[in-house]
Every structure is written in structure tokens, then in C-alpha cells.
Amino acid sequence: MTLSAHEFQFVSSLVRREASIVLEPGKEYLVEARLLPLARKAGLASVTEFLLRAQGPAGRSDRDSIVDALTTNETSWFRDREPFTAMTDLVIPQLVKSRGTARSMRVWSAASSSGQEPYTLAILLKENLPPGWTYEILGTDISTEMLARAETGRYSQLEVNRGLPAPLLVKHFTRVGPEWEVAAPIKKAVSFKRLNLAAPFPPMPAFDVVFLRNVLIYFDVETKRGVLKRIRNLLKPDGWLFLGAAETTMGIDDGFERVVTGRTSAYRPRTGTSAPVGVTGKG
């Protein structure tokens, strides 16, 4: 079965409107593959029947499920490794020097998926901050299903095998039956909330570091510009932004400057372009 042009148009318009995700023609196979499990779970014979139900007056939950299903949730522990090396070798030492009075750090994982990235960041800070320092990690995502998974802090053996060094697994996780659960001190430092990056942000505190990795590639230029502006307004003046390897602020938001850190790059607000600490990123 192949999606009709009308069905694909409904789905692409929905995810564009709700999440600013651009689905170009030719992605019909992807849409069908992602929605078929939803149709089966609903006891329906086909994706066509599921989409008919989703378009009805009682289809709000189905439409939410479609957006969830078409949000890319690929993730792993210490994914791509280099940004985390930069955190250990450069970012954390610099912030420790400049935060000596507050002795605290706040980090945002802005596309947290099932939680591996924010928990990785919590482990990294736990391992590298001096004694007596506190830290908070906020994980946000548009997918309610992924956030529910992340909040449990439980992962299968296959999931922890994807990038998590064995010594850190033993040190910061507890075995619970066939799964591994994040230890209480790490879990306590991480909170999760639903957030649509393409919409105005709710009031939020300023952050020392933001990880916004492998998200901008799904947005058009105007959406990217709005997201970067709102995040820049939430970064402290000496804060750091990490993007995916294929992403950049260059040519989109001149309020950032690129900084080479080892084998990767990060971005920092240019002098005078970030909002004062505590100003929320609306706009």
C-alpha cells in the first residue's frame, strides 16, 4: 500500500503546523512505515483507516501520535563523543573558573528524546565538577512518548551498550531485572518537560550550556532563525551552544560566533547579543 497524495499532504501539513518539521515529497515510504504500527495498535486494518480517523473530530490524540511518530528520536550515550570531550577538556574548566562564587551549573538538552543525552550530561558533570558544586539538567522534547520513557530512567542492555562505557554503567546505574536504571543522584539532577522548539518558549532560567544537536536540519531557514534567537536569549553571556556536526549558526544568526574546540565546534553569543541573565527567550 502506498499513501495517496491527499494522505501525505494531510500528514506533512500536520507535522509542519505542529512541529515545523518539513516532509518533502518522496518521504511517503517513511510516513507509512512510521504510522503502520499506530494503525495496528489501534486495531485498524491500514494506515488509510488510521488517517481517516485522525482527520475526524475525535482524532486529536491520533494527530498527536502522528507528530510523535514522525519526530526523529535517534540517540545514544555520548553520541558523536567529540562535543562531550569538548565539555570535559574546555567548557567545564572555563565555567568552573567563572562560576566560582555560585558553584552551580545549568545545562539544557533541547532535544532529549528518550533521555540518553541529558543523563550523559549529568554523568559528565558529576564526574568532572569540583566537590561542593551543584548542577541541573533540563531535557525537553516535543514527543510525550519519549519524555515518558526518559523520566523512567530505565534502559535495556542493548540501549546501554550504545556508547556507554562499562565503568560508568557500573558506577551510575543499578540493575533492575533485564534493565538498567539511572542511579538516584543522577536522576535527581535531571528534569524533563515538553517543549516545541519552533514555538515561543515558556519562561525559563538562563543556561550555561545548551545542546541543540541534530534538530535544526529538519527546519526551514526562518524556523532555524527563530529557534537560535530564542536560545541565544537564554544563554548566559559566556555560555556555550553545541549543534550537530551538519548544523551551523553561520548565515542564519550572526549573534553567535563559532569556536573550534578540538575536533568539533561550539558557538557562543557575540558580546552584547545575549539577554541579561534571567530574561526568557520569547520572540
Q: According to the CATH classification, is domain 5-70 in 1.10.155.10?
A: yes
Our CA dihedral for 105, 136, 267, 110, rounded to 10 degrees, sits at -170
What's residue 233's pLDDT?
Answer: 94
The tens digit of pLDDT for each residue in 162-221 reads 888 999 999 999 999 999 999 999 999 999 999 999 889 999 999 999 999 988 888 889
Listed by start position, the domains of the chain span 5-70, 81-269
Please give the CATH number for the structural domain made up of 81-269. Answer: 3.40.50.150
The 10s digit of each residue's pLDDT in 115-127 is 999 999 999 999 9
Q: What is the pTM of this model?
A: 0.77
Instruction: Output the nine-digit C-alpha cell for 264.
Output: 568539533
> What's the whole-number mean pLDDT along residues 25-51?
84
